[in-house]
Amino acid sequence: MNITVIICVLMYELVLITGVGYWVARQTKQQPHAHDAEFTHGGRQLGVTVIAATLALTVLGTPHIMGIFELSWSMGATSLWFSIAHVILLVIVCLSTGLWMRRTGVTSVPELLEALYSPVVRIIVSCVMAGSIFGVLTLETQGLAILLSAMTGWNVQYSAIAGGVLGILYVVLAGIKEVGWINVANAILMYISVILATVFIAFQLPNGDFSSVSDYYVNGGNEAALSLFGSPHLLITFAFGLVVALVFSQPANQPLLQVCMSAKDEKTIVKALWFAAPINGMFGVFICVIGLTAKALPEFHALGPKTAATAMLVSMLPTWLVTLLLGSFMAAILSSFAMTALAPATIFSNDIYRRFYRPDATEKQIAKVTRIVIVILSFIAIAVGSFLPQILASVGWVLAWLMPVLWLIVCGLFWKRSSTAAVVTLSSVWIINTIWSFTRIPEYLGMADISNAYIMLMLTLAIGVSTNLCFRGKPKYFNSAEYSALVVANNETN
């Protein structure tokens, strides 16, 4: 690749990240009084623009870009269900779990679970959720490495280091406020560049449109590749399975909910949905079109699914647009990297360090511990992400660990709170998930092609309902005396 493009992309990211980070940090120091959880939650004062951009880009990372490029080769337009699943996810978060988190004033999902159940549930979920998010962090590191490797020709290990350093800078200078304001700038750049890239490519194709691409698939007997619904087998094993995996796990995940916890109020979250969902969902459409086009062109088809789309963009677009486009791709992955590093660091600093070691820790001390954990986790992710590429195939398995957590939140808020039932549900589902994933039982049962998400969802519901019926517990949290006292305390604080 042209060395000028590489330098421009890296300089853009470096200048934007350090510039915004310095500006946000300086603005925070000049505030007359400090807000609660300034570094990890932006003092709970973030507005619609920042919340919308951060919600959209937090889940718009490696799978949306590198993943859909590759999936479009084998699944065609059916790969768009990945984007559709995220739109549904954002709707659920912004209209339910995100609002509940902001209303209760907690700093993490495990903190809410302690209020609903017990400290034991909090520590168990803290450890498992941090590990689950770390798995996603490793995936984002891998995406940065692949993108930088394609741009520079460096090997994956060196690219992972360079990408990881940028990812650390994206968040470590000023926390979630830094991430949010960088996301606002990058979201604008991302859409301008991807729309322009799609238009430029269309004009260089025969007839000046994508009709030749459509003809390639129709004439090749693969017309299903142009359909969102594809084949019934793909719909059941991939599309709907992915929707189930995301919708019944991610609404309980710390990265997205931490953004909602940082909002100025609940109305801000609802308003942000109208921007976050389209930003996230439509981006996948452009990526899928680019991936399908790369496969249809012989000179790029020969390169295979991993590099064809990137090579096509570099070859067919002017240098200035390649710079913008690759810069926006990197920005989307960096944003996901930043939030998936900040989330487990927040869990450690609040749910382990402050809760069990330093209850009197100041916000400054919490911010320091959070920064240290961000750096440590990021460098571990760099090592794992560059040497274990097969982690891409384990995303569904990672997400399945959070399904019982969502059940505990909904059950505890609206039905019943039994700590015994909670522990039994968590341990049972997690043990069975591990056995199901690492043994040949699915093959023996003729269910090897069935998504892991279906099994874990059925287990969560079956075990969750039955244990709550068997064990005694406290009534639902909403409308309880504890909740009423919390609302009064929050109103006095605000």
Domains contained in the chain, CATH given: 3-396 (1.20.1730.10)
CA atoms within 13 A on the CB side of 14: 9
Q: Give me the pLDDT at residue 102, please.
A: 93
| Mean per-residue pLDDT over the chain, rounded | 86
Q: Give me the pLDDT at residue 389, please.
A: 47
- Is residue 146 pLDDT above 80, yes or no? no
* Contact by Cβ (8 Å): 2, 319: yes
Average pLDDT over residues 285-311: 87
Q: Give me the pLDDT at residue 392, please.
A: 44
Q: Give me the pLDDT at residue 255, please.
A: 92
Q: Give me the pLDDT at residue 489, please.
A: 67
Distance from first CA to last CA of the chain, Å, rounded?
53
Strands (DSSP E) contained in 344-433 are: 416-417
User: Helix, strand, coil shares of the chain as percentages rounded to 5?
Assistant: 80, 0, 15
Average pLDDT over residues 265-292: 91
* Contact by Cβ (8 Å): 150, 307: yes
Average pLDDT over residues 292-318: 86
* Contact by Cβ (8 Å): 116, 85: no
Average pLDDT over residues 409-414: 95
Q: Give me the pLDDT at residue 96, please.
A: 96
Measure the CA–CA gap between 170 and 340, rounded to whole angstroms.
Answer: 12
- Is residue 162 pLDDT above 60, yes or no? yes
Q: Give me the pLDDT at residue 390, please.
A: 45
> Pick from 355, 333, 344: which is nearest to 377 by CA?
344
pLDDT band at 370 (very low <50, low <70, confident <90, very high): very high
pLDDT band at 230 (very low <50, low <70, confident <90, very high): confident
Measure the CA–CA gap between 329 and 28, rounded to whole angstroms.
Answer: 29
Measure the CA–CA gap between 330 and 345, rounded to whole angstroms.
Answer: 22
Q: Give me the pLDDT at residue 153, please.
A: 73
In sequence order, what are the residues at sequence separation of 6 or more whose Cβ sits closer than 8 angstroms to the Cβ of residue 57? 183, 186, 187, 279, 280, 331, 332, 335, 336
Average pLDDT over residues 369-381: 92
Q: Enter the tokens of residue 438.
A: 């690492």
* Number of CB atoms found within 10 A of residue 211's CB: 12
* Contact by Cβ (8 Å): 144, 333: yes
* Contact by Cβ (8 Å): 203, 395: no
pLDDT band at 488 (very low <50, low <70, confident <90, very high): low
- Is residue 161 pLDDT above 90, yes or no? no
Measure the CA–CA gap between 427 and 431, rounded to whole angstroms.
Answer: 6
- Is residue 258 pLDDT above 90, yes or no? yes
* Number of CB atoms found within 10 A of residue 321's CB: 17
CA atoms within 13 A on the CB side of 432: 21
Measure the CA–CA gap between 149 and 143, rounded to whole angstroms.
Answer: 10
pLDDT band at 202 (very low <50, low <70, confident <90, very high): very high
Report which residue type is found at 156: V
- Is residue 61 pLDDT above 90, yes or no? no
pLDDT band at 43 (very low <50, low <70, confident <90, very high): confident
pLDDT band at 63 (very low <50, low <70, confident <90, very high): confident
CA atoms within 13 A on the CB side of 230: 22
Strands (DSSP E) contained in 161-216 are: none
Higher pLDDT, 20 or 252: 252
> Pick from 292, 269, 105: which is nearest to 198 by CA?
292
Tokens 């000023």, residue located: 174
Average pLDDT over residues 157-185: 83
